Amino acid sequence: GLPAGWREFARDLRAATRAAGVPAPEFVAGTSQWWKDTWWQDVFEPTTASMPVPGGVRTMRVLVRSGNVLDLGDDVAPTPRPLARQIFRHLRGPGVAVVQQLTPSRRDHLTDLRNATGNVESLPPYAGNPHGRLVYGTGATRGPDPAFAGLLTSMGQGLQPPVVIDTGWLMVGHVDETMHVVRADNERGWTLMVADPRLAARLLRKAKAEGAGRTTLFPGSATVDGLLKDRTLTTANAEAAGHVDKQLAAMLAATGLRPEEIIRVPVLFTASEIDPALLRAYTPAVVNGLSLTARDFAAPDPHGPVAGGRDLFREATRRALAAQGVRVRWVEDLAWAHLLGGEVHCATNALRDTRSTARWWARR
């Protein structure tokens, strides 16, 4: 049968795209051997290549294959992530190229996670950076394969200098786990939506104060009272807040955004079961969603504390994004993605309209 949570995820994603007025999602089935690798965001990053031609501009898509290499055992050579073969089979063709550059060597799984393209994002244009900037995460002991990182930085031809932030404290270690670019009514036209563990903790306390202490967040979760009493979780959540502060400081310094422009949404963090020194989202990370249009954001249903019939995490998220003219389209991803370490963004990918691609040769 179908994996747990698939029907709900597909249903809500279809509804979200329909409400946003964009094409319906296309679901690509994997092979019988590799169908369990559902992380489409992590196997390629869409980019474009443009050049002037008589009468206008010629643009093509270039899909950058992730730098992931799987170690399948001593009797099998390390192999690039098999799911990525689907982009050659399903997407490559006229006007769509695929490139890859990686080191085919053995590496531990946690290190290799940093080579996924969920760890590669970009910033829109802003003053001093007319073509925007690349963003990726690294850590003191685990970072992207230098060959893969070199490909990423070379593709911008020096016009998209990277902003590198610390994601080494996260179990998965991807930049999309803690921040997302959204439209804003400011001079840039955009800002950052950022995961806020402190806000999540405050809303838990609010739920308790409103009499919802005995309620659970989702099947298998502790009650609100239990979460607030769990010293391991509250300590991990406080640590996450400190790490996000440092990430945000780096982004503010790089972009000139002001703290008051940042959109904060509640995400509760806990220690990873795989390595307690690393952290993961305990509640579905609202920030780790998919922008369908500039004004429509497909967000993981956060399964926040419910008090007075209101999901306090949903309410806080909707209010924060609505202030910038962004509508939230909720997608149920608890079983399909969240409990496996990802969210809506991780399990999807998107090819954007390239007709307004900047003419890099005119804005060097």
pLDDT tens, residue by residue, 167-226: 999 999 999 999 999 999 999 999 999 999 999 999 999 999 999 999 999 999 999 999
pLDDT of residue 17: 98
More confident residue, 17 or 90: 17
Question: Structural domains in the chain?
Answer: 1-32+169-349 (3.75.10.10)
HEC-encoded secondary structure of the chain: CCCCCHHHHHHHHHHHHHHHCCCCCCCCCCCCCCCCCCCHHHCEEEEEEEEEECCEEEEEEEEEECCCEECCCCCCCCEECHHHHHHHHHHCECCEEEECCCCCCCCCHHHHHHHCHHHEEEECCECCECCCEEEEEECCCCCCCHHHHHHHHHHCCCCCCCEEEECCCECCCCHHHCEEEEECCCCCCEEEEEEEHHHHHHHHHHHHHCCCCCCECCCCCCEHHHHHHCHHHHHHHHHHHHHHHHHHHHHHHHHCCCHHHCEEEECCEEECCCCCCCEEECCCCCCCCEEEECCEEEEECCCCCEECCEEHHHHHHHHHHHCCCCEEEEECCCCCCHHHCCCCCCCCCCCCCCCCCCCHHHCC
pTM: 0.94
**Residue 146 pLDDT grade (very low, low, confident, very high; cuts 50, 70, 90):** very high
Does residue 338 have a pLDDT over 90?
yes
